[in-house]
């Protein structure tokens, strides 16, 4: 925080979701917000006094042309596009932007939650439950979410959360048992 305060600007990134061909979720304030250190304390309150009109960007291409290309891309192959589209259609009806409670990051997380709900429910309930409870990444997801809900969703927390969620949903995570086996094997062979 010190480097931003000394430079007198706040910008920690901007998350968005793209689900081609017709869903793009990028929520920004309609007008620039004064992020100066003197105003930031005031802006960090989640009350209605800090509500401004927000704007949903129409597409990744248009937003990239106006601002810049994304420097990180995460891909989810298992999601419910119908649920995502339905959520976004309803969510876009309200254009209130609030830096703390209804910002670009919280919008992306809510959209992501709607799109991945139930995607692991294709196999046995008990097997899925055991897999999730024994997966260290699930506990990490809970930690990221509790931090964000105690404060607010930020672009950095969104990145951490989505990278971890990607591990869980795309099968790149490793169970506690597999990790312990790897440690034991490494110890025994060296």
Residue 113 lies in a domain: yes
For 154-181, what is the mean pLDDT?
80
Look at residue 1 in the predicted model and tell me its pLDDT. 35
Contact criterion met (CB below 8 Å) for 116 and 80: yes
Look at residue 40 in the predicted model and tell me its pLDDT. 58
pLDDT at residue 28 greater than cutoff 60: yes
pLDDT at residue 145 greater than cutoff 90: yes
Look at residue 47 in the predicted model and tell me its pLDDT. 66
Residue 178 lies in a domain: no
Residue 96 lies in a domain: yes
Residue 179 lies in a domain: no
For residue 21, say if its preceding peptide bond is cis, omega within 30 degrees of 0.
Answer: yes
**Between 96 and 183, the higher pLDDT residue:** 96
pLDDT at residue 58 greater than cutoff 90: yes
Look at residue 7 in the predicted model and tell me its pLDDT. 44
Burial of 26 (0-12, 13-18, 19+ CB in 10 A): buried
Residue 187 lies in a domain: no
Q: What is the share, in percent, of the chain residues with pLDDT greater than 70?
A: 77
Q: What is the share, in percent, of the chain residues with pLDDT greater than 90?
A: 38
Residue 43 lies in a domain: yes
For 140-167, what is the mean pLDDT?
91
Residue 181 lies in a domain: no
pLDDT at residue 31 greater than cutoff 70: yes
Number of domains making up the chain: 1
For 107-132, what is the mean pLDDT?
85
How sure is the predictor about 71, in pLDDT bands with cuts at 50, 70 and 90? confident
Residue 68 lies in a domain: yes
**Between 98 and 11, the higher pLDDT residue:** 98
Look at residue 4 in the predicted model and tell me its pLDDT. 40
For 142-151, what is the mean pLDDT?
91
Sign of CA dihedral 66, 70, 74, 77: positive
For 142-162, what is the mean pLDDT?
92
Look at residue 48 in the predicted model and tell me its pLDDT. 77
Look at residue 32 in the predicted model and tell me its pLDDT. 73
User: What are all long-range contacts of 116-123, with beta carbons under 8 Å and residues at least 24 apart?
Assistant: 116/76, 116/78, 116/79, 116/80, 116/165, 116/169, 117/80, 117/83, 118/80, 119/78, 119/79, 119/80, 119/169, 120/78, 120/168, 120/169
Domain with 15, as residue range(s), is 2-119+136-173
């Amino acid at each position: 925080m010190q480097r931003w305060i000394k430079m007198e600007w706040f910008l920690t990134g901007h998350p968005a979701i793209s689900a081609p061909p017709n869903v793009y979720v990028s929520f920004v304030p309609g007008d620039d917000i004064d992020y100066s250190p003197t105003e930031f304390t005031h802006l960090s309150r989640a009350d209605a006094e800090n509500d401004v009109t927000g704007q949903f960007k129409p597409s990744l291409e248009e937003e990239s042309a106006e601002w810049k290309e994304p420097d990180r891309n995460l891909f989810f192959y298992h999601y419910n596009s119908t649920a995502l589209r339905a959520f976004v259609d309803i969510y876009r009806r309200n254009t209130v932007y609030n830096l703390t409670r209804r910002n670009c990051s919280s919008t992306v997380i809510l959209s992501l939650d709607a799109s991945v709900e139930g995607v692991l429910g294709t196999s046995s309930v008990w097997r899925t439950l055991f897999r999730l409870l024994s997966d260290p990444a699930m506990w990490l997801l809970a930690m990221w979410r509790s931090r964000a809900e105690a404060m607010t969703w930020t672009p950095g927390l969104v990145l951490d959360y989505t990278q971890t969620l990607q591990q869980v949903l795309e099968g790149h995570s490793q169970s506690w048992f597999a990790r312990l086996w790897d440690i034991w094997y490494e110890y025994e062979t060296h």
